[in-house]
Amino acid sequence: MKLLKQFKPLTVPKRYKGAKGGRASGKSHFFAECIVKLCVTYQSFNVVCIREIQKSLKFSAKKLIEDKIAENGYSNRFVITQNEIRGVNGSLIIFQGMQDHTAESIKSLEGFDVAWVEEAQSVSSRSLELLIPTIRTENSELWFSWNPTYEDDPIEVFFKELNETNSILVHSNYDTNKLLPDTVTDEAKRHKEAKPETYPHIWLGDYKTSEAGSVYKFDRNIHSTNREMLPNEALIIGQDFNIGGCVSIVYVREGDNMFAVDEFISKDTFELRDNLLEKYQGHQVEIIPDASGRSNKTNASRSDIGILQDAGFRINAPKKNPRIEDRINATNDKYIDGTLFINTTKCPNYTKAQIKQVYDENSVPEKFTGAGTIDDYNDAGTYPIHRLFGLSKTKVNNISLSFG
């Protein structure tokens, strides 16, 4: 094999093997050539190549594996059809999308020796939970290759929970790929000079710190913090009310600096009340909520804000919500000023929401359906920012109510 040095650890038998890194690092070429060699060496060796979503084989690893078969002079060892590749010795390579599988249909993969998950940064927790116990033939292995996106993506969390006994993970980049043509190396250098802010993510496999066209100016490299709440520290909680999911973002304030230090979601306002009482006992809590809580009623006799009022919480609420544009501007002003930070470990969903919400084709912030979505986290997080720091810039009819 044209084995690159950084992939040599992956030749040792392990249940879980991962290769992650930037563009043009050779990850896919390595795994594709391994599959061809194994299918030639062992009779009836079965491999499934998987993506989270696969609408067409055009976007699968099939063409790459076909190229590896030809490069190694094995064209007479395989029969290539439109949907699969079969070895004359009984080996089989198929290509599937995980989102097409159900708990019942996934059983069709029980006899496979290797599952290679391409673009694993996109694989969902549900897909991992379905796939992993299904590939259980003796000495079977699961391979994953991906370009990292976010630190809390399911594949990143999964590998962090593994140990050296049953897994191996290598990080590779274009600058260690000795087989790379000069044109690709030159393109990487050009990108580094032209767009230094995206070069580490695309070419070095670093986590994405911002999103092109993102609504918010959060940058993980600048606005991340390890700040946590201290015992009995005063807390400010941004609250978004939703049927089926009430999102809460918890801040601590130091002068003009705001630190998001916790997040949680509750199924309704009664559970929200109980969570607040349990989680933040001993803290002085000020809640800056969605103004719709004045009229939303979890039960017939009391509004959402009324339920929190009855529990003794201090409520700082506007009569109506400010425009979303005003909340966005107030939040981005804080990022630009360097006075707004997020504990990305304690607030993974809020972090992802700040990075991933983009403008749609009508230049309106993208909306998501369901409770506990990206815009729900952003709504909860931006209510306090605008309420406390944006009033001088925007004419809004506000009222401050104190309870407890």
Whether 283 contacts 233, CB under 8 Å: yes
Burial class from Cβ neighbours inside 10 Å (0-12, 13-18, 19+) for residue 319 reads exposed
Q: Where are the domains of the chain?
A: 5-204, 220-389
Q: What is the pTM of this model?
A: 0.63
- pLDDT value at residue 178: 85
Distance CA 307, CA 312 (A): 9
Does domain 5-204 sit in CATH 3.40.50.10900? no
- pLDDT value at residue 319: 84
Does domain 220-389 sit in CATH 3.40.50.300? no
- pLDDT value at residue 291: 86
Whether 2 contacts 33, CB under 8 Å: yes
- pLDDT value at residue 138: 95
Distance CA 253, CA 255 (A): 6
- pLDDT value at residue 398: 38
Where helices occur in 239-356 by DSSP H, the ranges are 269-279, 304-310, 324-337, 348-356
- pLDDT value at residue 56: 82
The residue ranges of the chain whose pLDDT is under 70 are 1-3, 210, 212, 296-300, 391-404
Distance CA 238, CA 207 (A): 27
- pLDDT value at residue 329: 94
Distance CA 192, CA 103 (A): 44
Other CB atoms within a 10 A radius of the CB of residue 300 amount to: 5
Whether 357 contacts 327, CB under 8 Å: no
- pLDDT value at residue 293: 73
- pLDDT value at residue 301: 74
- pLDDT value at residue 245: 84
> What is the bridge-based pairing of β-strands 235-240 and 246-254?
antiparallel
The residue type at 286: E
